Amino acid sequence: MLSKRIIWWALVLILILGFNTVVWGRTSNDVTIRVAEIGRYHLENQSTLRNGSDLIQIVDVTIFSNSSRKWRFVAIPYSNNPELEWSIDNRAWHGFGSQMGETMITGAKSDWRNYRFYIKVRGVSEGSVNLGYQLLFSE
């Protein structure tokens, strides 16, 4: 009788452990982590230089992008000022062609990267110049 009891408990134990092993062996979880797309920029006006009657503003921008999509950094003039120009290298100057903005810098995934550009106002006169900036992602 004792041996039948031992055999019975051994059989029950084998079935329970065998069932759990099969269930545990077939269970798996797929975890998907999606990181939100981030695009940020930080502007710093470094210094202002006077070159004769021209005024040149040195602007440093730090751009962060964790996306592989292409981005562009755009400067938008809020007033129609033909004396306003911009440059990446302080040699070749470009005018602000439209109220839609000028693409200053382009790139893709950049983490934190520093860029420098220059804004020049020719023949400084009274009044002010207002620029807005945007970081735009392509589709």
Q: Sheet harboring 54-65: ordered strands across?
A: 39-51, 54-65, 111-121, 84-87, 94-95
Question: What is the rounded distance in angstroms from the CA atom of residue 126 to the CA atom of residue 86?
Answer: 20
User: What are the pLDDT tens digits along the chain (139 aa)?
Assistant: 667 788 888 887 777 776 655 555 566 778 888 878 888 889 888 778 777 778 888 899 999 988 888 999 988 888 766 678 889 998 898 888 766 778 888 888 878 889 999 988 877 666 667 788 888 888 7
Domain boundaries 39-137, CATH class: mainly beta
CB 74 within 8 A of CB 98: no
CB 44 within 8 A of CB 59: yes
Residue 61 is predicted with a pLDDT of: 92
Listed by start position, the domains of the chain span 39-137
CB 48 within 8 A of CB 59: no
Question: What is the rounded distance in angstroms from the CA atom of residue 122 to the CA atom of residue 56?
Answer: 9
CB 52 within 8 A of CB 37: no
Residue 26 is predicted with a pLDDT of: 62
- CA 49 to chain centroid, in Å, comes to 30
- Residue in 51, 74, 69 with CA at minimum distance from that of residue 110: 69
Question: What is the rounded distance in angstroms from the CA atom of residue 97 to the CA atom of residue 86?
Answer: 11
Entry pTM: 0.66
